[in-house]
Amino acid sequence: MPKKQKYGIRFPFRVNEDNGSVLSICENPVEGVNSELMHIIFTPQGQRLRRPDFGTRLIQFIFNPDDSQTWDDIVSEIDEAVRDRIANCSVESVQVAESDDGNDLYVRIVYTVRESEKVTRYETIAKL
Lowest mean pLDDT among 1-10, 96-105, 112-121: 1-10
91: domain CATH number is: 3.10.450.40
- Residues 14 and 34: their CA atoms lie apart, in Å, by 15
- Residues 17 and 36: their CA atoms lie apart, in Å, by 21
- Residues 45 and 52: their CA atoms lie apart, in Å, by 6
CB 37 within 8 A of CB 109: yes
Q: What is the pLDDT of residues 60-104, one digit of tens each?
A: 888 888 888 988 999 999 999 988 888 888 899 999 888 888 788
- The pLDDT assigned to 3 comes to 64
Domain extent at residue 97:
29-127
- Residues 51 and 81: their CA atoms lie apart, in Å, by 13
Question: Is residue 13 in a domain?
Answer: no
Question: Is residue 5 in a domain?
Answer: no
Please tell me the total count of domains within the chain.
Answer: 1
CB 123 within 8 A of CB 107: no
Question: Is residue 22 in a domain?
Answer: no
- Residues 60 and 44: their CA atoms lie apart, in Å, by 9
pLDDT at residue 1 greater than cutoff 60 = no
What average pLDDT score do residues 24-46 get?
Answer: 84
